[in-house]
């Protein structure tokens, strides 16, 4: 997926999580996803625990952080 398409998954809305970067308008912050990854949680486990997330959301969060 092109970088631009991935970054479009990151949304900021003052009415959702205080305007912090979130994934696709949902109430899961980029920071929360990055914290899970930093703690060593595998992608597969994150996707199992958060079935509304897609693998591309994880890639988008990493790209945004970079």
Domains contained in the chain, number: 1
pLDDT recorded at residue 1: 78
- pTM for this entry: 0.91
pLDDT recorded at residue 16: 93
CATH code (residue 58): 1.10.10.10
Question: Residue 63: CB partners within 8 Å, gap ≥ 6?
Answer: 3, 6, 7
> Using one digit for the tens of pLDDT, what is the confidence trace for 3-57?
888 999 999 999 999 999 999 999 999 999 999 999 999 999 999 999 999 999 9
Domain containing residue 45: 3-65
pLDDT recorded at residue 2: 82
């Amino acid at each position: 997926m092109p970088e631009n398409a991935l970054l479009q998954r990151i949304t900021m809305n003052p009415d959702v999580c205080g305007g912090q970067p979130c994934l696709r308008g949902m109430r899961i912050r980029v920071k929360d996803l990055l914290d899970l990854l930093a703690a060593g949680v595998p992608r597969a486990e994150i996707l199992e625990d958060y079935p509304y997330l897609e693998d591309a959301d994880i890639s988008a969060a990493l790209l945004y952080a970079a």
